[in-house]
Amino acid sequence: MRYDDSPPQPETAPAPGADRRRFARRSALAVAAAVIAPTTLAGWVLVQVGTGAGADDARPPRIAAPAATGTGTPAAPPATASPGADPSTGAPASGAPAPSPGATSPLAGKTVVIDPGHNTGNFDHSREINQQVDIGTARKECDTTGTTTRAGYKEADFTLDVSRRLRTLLEGRGLKVVFTHEADRAWGPCITERARIGNEANADAVVSVHADGVSEGSRGYHVILPAKVKGGAADTAAIVGPSRTLGERIAANFARTTGSGPANYLGGGTGLVVRDDLGGLNLSTRPKVFVECGNMRDSKDAALLTSPQWRQKAAQGIADGIVGFLGG
């Protein structure tokens, strides 16, 4: 409405019918004002609610969807964070379950091969496991018995238990997991077959689970990485780099989750060791590492290795390292 700022004019008699016309114009203006005012007020309220005025300032303001305009197209609902997400970022909150991987997940379609070190049956099949096999750069025993704690807890029992826990965690993230064995055979498999299983699965990562057996006082974990070797069927040139990245990821997560320190007897305190004498690494064409979770012959480490709760932590640390390596 525009107000007339001109000086007041002398009053004159209204023309015939002027009062009726003036009344009609004023009535029309009053009706228009009555329509506009509620609409304007409703729009103001919508903005106040939509911007969360007076609400938690940690949340970003949400732009309210415009009211329907009568075009027949409903307004899109505002986006909401997934359950358990940080409302300020939309990222999963700490401790919240990881989202199930979908078609766009970096873990979708990926395969991990888990190799539980040794086999409890090896103790009864020394002739079979002592047969020599070709690892490309040399010949070695097909397999060994592995070590035990001083109380008799076998490395092979430890590695199978941790591997099964690890499988559950990885499958929970949507990964396909393949085992080299589940103690469902009398002995073995040989180190050559263990490598072949990972290669034929076209694994995105291969992890061999072990525990060491050295003297009392030697403590801590270490991750064994493949050296660059070439000879016969062995050629690790393509996997040295990615295997190191895999090993570094696992070492860091293992230490954080278990609270264990890196081995104090090799690796220079890094928790990483490079070797060229392990057939399981030499013959692998896929990124692969060995994880020595601790020393079974040290009483303090043995107390950890025989604890189901600690073995769950060990599995979690390895799983987190693998998932990080695969981009999950």
Q: How many CB atoms lie within 10 A of CB 88?
A: 12
Confidence at residue 257, expressed as pLDDT on a 0 to 100 scale: 98
Q: Which residue has the higher pLDDT, 87 or 17?
A: 17
Written as six digits, the tokens of 246 are 């895999």
DSSP string of 137-156? SSEEES-----B-TT--BHH
Confidence at residue 30, expressed as pLDDT on a 0 to 100 scale: 42
**Does 282 fall in a domain?**
yes
**Does 52 fall in a domain?**
no
Confidence at residue 104, expressed as pLDDT on a 0 to 100 scale: 66
Amino acid letter at 285?
T
Written as six digits, the tokens of 195 are 């490598």
Q: Say what the pTM is.
A: 0.70
Confidence of residue 316 (pLDDT cuts 50, 70, 90): very high
E strand segments, 81-204: 111-116, 132-134, 139-141, 176-179
Average pLDDT of the chain?
78
Cα 90 to chain centroid distance, Å, stands at 16
Q: What span, in angstroms and rounded, lies between the C-alpha atoms of 245 and 135?
A: 24
Which residue bears the tokens 């020393």?
295
**pLDDT average, residue stretch 233-254:** 98
Rg (alpha carbons) of the chain, rounded to whole number: 36
Q: What span, in angstroms and rounded, lies between the C-alpha atoms of 49 and 59?
A: 14
Instruction: Report the domain count for the chain.
Output: 1
The answer to whether residue 292 is catalytic is: yes
**Does 49 fall in a domain?**
no
Specify whether the CB–CB gap between 214 and 255 falls below 8 A.
no
* Residues 53-107 pLDDT 10s: 332 222 233 222 333 333 333 333 333 333 333 333 333 333 334 545 445 678 9
* Residues 170-208 pLDDT 10s: 999 999 999 999 999 999 999 999 999 999 999 999 999
Confidence at residue 105, expressed as pLDDT on a 0 to 100 scale: 79
Confidence of residue 50 (pLDDT cuts 50, 70, 90): very low
Q: What span, in angstroms and rounded, lies between the C-alpha atoms of 135 and 70?
A: 76
pLDDT-wise least confident of 11-25, 176-190, 247-261 = 11-25
* Residues 26-36 pLDDT 10s: 444 443 444 33
**pLDDT average, residue stretch 123-128:** 98
E strand segments, 156-271: 176-179, 205-212, 222-226, 230-231, 234-235
First-last CA distance in the chain: 62
Q: What span, in angstroms and rounded, lies between the C-alpha atoms of 249 and 233?
A: 28
pLDDT-wise least confident of 11-15, 80-84, 122-126, 249-253 = 80-84
Confidence at residue 106, expressed as pLDDT on a 0 to 100 scale: 86
**Does 51 fall in a domain?**
no
The CATH number linked to 190 is 3.40.630.40
Q: What span, in angstroms and rounded, lies between the C-alpha atoms of 159 and 314?
A: 11
CB-hemisphere CA count at 13 Å for 112? Answer: 31
* Residues 143-172 pLDDT 10s: 999 999 999 999 999 999 999 999 999 999
**Does 101 fall in a domain?**
no
Specify whether the CB–CB gap between 244 and 268 falls below 8 A.
no
**Does 285 fall in a domain?**
yes
**Does 69 fall in a domain?**
no
Q: Can you give the residue range of the structural domain that contains 178?
A: 111-325
Written as six digits, the tokens of 131 are 């047969």
